[in-house]
Structure 1
């Protein structure tokens, strides 16, 4: 695999437009595999730190060199980012998230069902009675929550064995973190009030808890119990600081929330997946935009295709009300899923928060896409200016050759349009009838075959042709174009230079003996490097595939009229290819199923 440089990813442009909101980022390598997942309170600051600092550990430096793309999912809070990060790591198992590979479950807070319930930390199977609250993103987060609740509501956290054998209050009572129910210092009714407030808080009903504390504070103040009122006041302040709306843990339903955005000819669709009330992540798509189709039709078509592709439809599908006909789409999805589905187009509460999350991610993804396109066009403009071209090279193609000591020679042709790869237009050519190892002849054949087809089908030729190699490869490509008698496009060969260092590439132009060297920080050079490396990668992949296929076949398969059964009979009769090669015509005639005519054909093939 070709090692990719940071310039290909264009980290600077990506970070410049990155949001400062909390979220999760996923780093991908050249094969589009997620290699690292992280969370951030500020996505822009966190992601930029990977490229701005030079004091990273060796592992981090190795990882950064492999980054070919970064995807982000924006969340409403850092807590959501923590939970979502854990989900992605469990699901994708990125190789650089070593610390998370234990695959542990989330910790919970357990409120037991005793007469004086215990509030405690729990991880593992939830088999005991009582209430479980969570999950929490980490053990430290759960324990921090326990500590804060201990100060607020003073529900005991000691083990049952300790609770049942106390004869006097422990230290927790002395520091005002427990009301000592173990020795009867608090009634069952009063303790139950604290337990209920704890339960309401963990159920997300913090407003009810705040109202209850406010009422108690007002009552204590009116009764001139200022010390008690101060305690309630401090509880209110602490609780307000802790209270945070979490969209990650909402109502216990399964739902998909869709948002679709269209701007400047680019269509972006985002799906936020919710299972058991938890946001498990988001997916971003950029469907190819069809002409003369309304946004409503695009939305309905995308949602249907999403489920027709094999995705299991949840119980609810949440969509923006102004962009769809909910009743029509509901009927269509029900036919696909073969069960009842609810399409909600006018939502509130948690469902509205999920929809807003989808819309927020769609807005950001679309803007990043548009900015990326603009950034690529800036590079295309730089190529025009620094190479002295007459027109913008909106359509560029690059050729490269790959072989092993002349074996399995393959030529690649990669296509870039508007500075971005158009992978559906990539082509490979198996090079035959040339001297093994003759790269010049291989380039000439590949260029001729590529543009002979394009001329025959009346396709537009590229604005710029790049050839991986030096003056020899450039001359061969020019000879192929001359044979086709076509108006010659701009053509340049890209050589690695005398020291073969990245950034020292030499560019050779037709009719010029002196190479042009672009500045190492040139945006034009970065784009040319990207195209050249992509052509190299595509050629190597094709060569390896061809070589493997050749080594897994024999010359017997090349003889017309010798099918699998006859090959089997030949091998069985002679015991191997070497004995077949040494056989006489009479020996071949003795093989079952081989007549005189076929025996002569095999014999002649062996002795040509």
Structure 2
């Protein structure tokens, strides 16, 4: 065994059992290097330490191993599932990793099927919104209170399906509050996209039949739906109810047109995922196309990381099992299948561009409780779906490679234009700040990060700005820069050796201050808002005024002024005429309308603006939505609500008022005022 590793580690390796399990390698800093599975833990792990692997990639990884952890399981299938759960959780450097992107939208029909129904006695009585289920776009956790169809690959696919249901079955999409307050049909009724249940223009039993037909259509039972519509049409015609028969005829015509226009498989294969993989230039793309209810709903590309290092380690593992080395496409697709379907519904059929192992499919079947079939060389309609997915994988990977090359050239152009000298171009880091508010309301500052030639949205931060005069953008910029870099300056003063000559101080993550900053979307909420190092460039969206404020902050903190650059809008605020303003006294620079450097600056500036706007709107809406709860408070009717809004100038004013102020409104006693205050806070 290797002499480069501690005796304790080698003793742990020697003591491993000859059982199936999962092992994890860690470096000296606690970072996870690799997660692997084994039929025989002792044999597999020992193989890593039995000889000197030299300067190879596998040898480079092994030289970093400081400790390991192992978990014994009952079977190889269990080891495979645990391995991929750990890969998703630990983000090891030598495993193929697909980022967690499972926020799929659904089509939702409100109300459980056993809660919605009508009898003859109730057919002519008053009805509520709950009696007429609505169809809606939905994203989030599903429950049994409603019916969900999907998941869909994109929001566009859901909205297209909703439009189809409106055209064919004329189901309502309005909110319950809108439904309850209608006195005449809306525009959707006029253009034959809704049957008008809000004003009793459709019988409840007929509407419920439309709901059932819509559900059958979404499940792929299109022929059943057509047969039922034809039967109902014939019945109405025999009764000489020609108007109702004509409506059903129009429904059949619309449904037939939809089936003709879309890629629909009317056979037994209703739900399937189509998976195509493409590898080129050290990058890869897995394109996932979804077929639900026999309809092709669209696709979504996924781009894995750590490909080159991970495939080397995988080939080493295969060699230890005396198994033939798998093509890289197979390794990538198997990694995607194993990681993607953790916590995501898996359809009974997977159509793949390369053949995947039977063991993986069996393990997936055991995990999901669904008998899964993997088809490698499909025929007929399946083959067409796979060809579409393969073409999209090719296009998406080509786009990625073109964008990455373009981004690197833009980074180089910006560095050259500003005469910067980063240690390496790959590590060039830019942080950009923007302020957003609406007439002083809900002021927020955003900080976005550009690093490794791309935007790092996991490092974005939002800062709620308080204690300033509403609308004072300069004060807001002072506050955000102080909060962002003050801890960095303190560490630099306390530990001179922690700050390299170029001023880039490293701060351990555990030492970051609690600044009240909000993390970017899709990340766990964080209150850490301090910078871990001084970036190579600090962009502020603004001209001399904002740059002067940034200069004051950096001067007070003792940080390098040369990194501050303002993006000043050009004449007429026209795009492409922006000039760069410097805090260290240099003359303004105009990079040129077609400059790659200006394109990168504009890209980063626009992203900071977008991130600030969305945060500000969310914060503002949070206050206003809280005020809308007035309608839900018992005892607060239309008149009292109107008096409250009139007295305090709007919803935000009511939310800011105290109990005594609320109680001073006519018709509102102390007890009700306390109830209103509690509801809004």
- TM (norm. structure 1) is 0.48
Larger Rg: 1
